[in-house]
């Protein structure tokens, strides 16, 4: 088997892992009705999936200094299969929360191990490979809402059972594909987790400063996007369509964003993408009408998803072999924890009486101001590249 087949299996696995994180967003109204909970509790379910994704990234980074990357990738698939089956049997909110948390753990373990592996499988095309891998991940986000709508004709639990079964099959194929090729050895020099991470602290801090607040806002926005669109006066069907559009726009965004990250100066490109994202969020809060909201939704989805391959390419292409896995694990852990808090923060503010427009407009302004400060630092040559 070639590296291309392993890459294909990784794309299949990341599809299921991202579906496991996204599937809870279109289920929020189902949870609110079935379990008689409020928006804050519903948002906490989503938050726990993303907290789970952050929780074991640091320990996984340490494991990568001891264990081959592809072994950890396979472990993540096993965790996903078991945790999805566990969540599918939930009859109480605590049970569902534990299941969501465990499903999140699977994605965290995967991304910390798979992204450095991808950059080492194709070291000359980091941005493009990360972008294609991201496309596979994003397709899952696109089909999450239609999949949930389809499974609701039978039972919402069916969507979780489908993830469990798919994860079992794809994980087995990934193990076979990895065992039949010569794996890259670039990461063998990364054997001191703490020293490796500390030596790259400027790159880690710079990355978090640029994209940390952006993903916090994005997490809170997309998980409540359908409810937000309903608050803007759209019908339930139109609101669901907007959620699908915002994710569909991310499919070309990953491919184009990864390609541009290979070609453009990485720090200015990152700052530009996040700045446009902030502008789009603010614009969304002031527009009305199905057509205009749809156009802004499409632009917002494209720009938001372009952030991810841009920052991954910057890190994985800049970090040396001797520190890549360790430093990326530290960044990824903190970054994911930042994302995870967005949903519960938005849910809590909405329950306290703030409108969606007010919450997201203020978030956009704060994000825009932070980017302006970072642009000044970049022009002064104070940010590492």
Which pLDDT band, with edges at 50, 70 and 90, does 30 fall under? confident
Residues 223/46, Cβ–Cβ less than 8 Å? yes
At residue 131, φ and ψ (nearest 5 deg) are -65, -45
Q: pLDDT at residue 187 above 70?
A: no
Tens digit of pLDDT for each residue in 210-265? 999 999 999 899 888 988 999 999 998 899 889 889 989 999 999 999 889 888 98
Q: pLDDT at residue 171 above 90?
A: yes
Ordered by start, the domain boundaries in the chain are: 3-379
Q: What is the pTM of this model?
A: 0.82
Q: Which residues contact 280 (CB under 8 A, 6 or more apart)?
A: 296, 299, 300, 303, 304
Q: Which residues contact 258 (CB under 8 A, 6 or more apart)?
A: 127, 128, 129, 130, 131, 132, 134, 309, 310, 313
Q: pLDDT at residue 1 above 60?
A: no
Which CATH class, in words, describes the domain spanning 3-379? mainly alpha
Tens digit of pLDDT for each residue in 326-345? 899 899 888 877 877 887 78
Helical spans, DSSP H, in 56-156: 57-63, 69-88, 93-121, 126-151
Q: What letter does residue 44 receive in the DSSP assignment?
A: H
Q: How many helices (H) and strands (E) does the chain have?
A: 17, 0
Closest CA to 193 of 327, 383, 293: 327
């Amino acid at each position: 088997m070639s590296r291309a087949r392993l890459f294909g299996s990784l794309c299949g696995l990341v599809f299921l892992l991202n579906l496991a994180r996204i599937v809870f967003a279109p289920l929020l109204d189902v949870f609110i009705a079935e379990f008689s909970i409020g928006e804050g509790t519903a948002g906490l379910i989503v938050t726990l999936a993303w907290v789970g994704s952050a929780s074991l990234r640091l320990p996984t980074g340490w494991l990568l200094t001891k264990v081959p990357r592809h072994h950890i990738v396979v472990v993540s698939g096993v965790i996903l299969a078991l945790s999805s089956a566990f969540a599918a049997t939930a009859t109480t909110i605590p049970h569902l929360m534990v299941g969501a948390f465990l499903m999140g753990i699977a994605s965290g373990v995967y991304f910390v191990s798979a992204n450095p592996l991808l950059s080492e499988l194709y070291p000359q095309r980091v941005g493009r490979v990360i972008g294609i891998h991201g496309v596979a991940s994003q397709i899952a986000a696109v089909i999450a809402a239609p999949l949930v709508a389809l499974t609701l004709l039978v039972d919402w639990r069916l969507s979780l059972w489908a993830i469990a079964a798919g994860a079992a099959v794809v994980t087995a194929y990934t193990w076979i594909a990895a065992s039949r090729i010569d794996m890259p050895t670039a990461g063998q020099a990364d054997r001191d987790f703490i020293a490796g991470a500390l030596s790259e602290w400027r790159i880690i801090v710079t990355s978090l400063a640029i994209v940390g607040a952006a993903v916090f806002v994005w997490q809170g926005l997309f998980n409540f996007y359908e409810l937000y669109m309903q608050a803007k006066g759209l019908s339930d069907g139109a609101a669901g369509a907007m959620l699908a559009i915002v994710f569909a726009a991310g499919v070309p965004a990953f491919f184009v964003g990864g390609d541009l990250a290979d070609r453009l100066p990485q720090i200015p490109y990152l700052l530009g993408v996040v700045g446009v994202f902030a502008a789009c969020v603010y614009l969304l809060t002031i527009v009305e009408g199905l057509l205009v909201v749809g156009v802004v939704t499409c632009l917002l989805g494209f720009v938001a998803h372009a952030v991810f391959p841009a920052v991954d390419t910057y890190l994985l292409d800049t970090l040396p072999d001797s520190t890549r896995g360790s430093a990326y694990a530290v960044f990824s852990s903190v970054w994911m924890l930042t994302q995870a808090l967005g949903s519960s923060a938005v849910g809590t503010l909405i329950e306290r009486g703030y409108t969606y427009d007010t919450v997201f407009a203020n978030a956009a302004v704060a994000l825009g101001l932070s980017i302006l400060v970072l642009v000044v630092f970049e022009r002064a040559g104070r940010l590492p590249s």
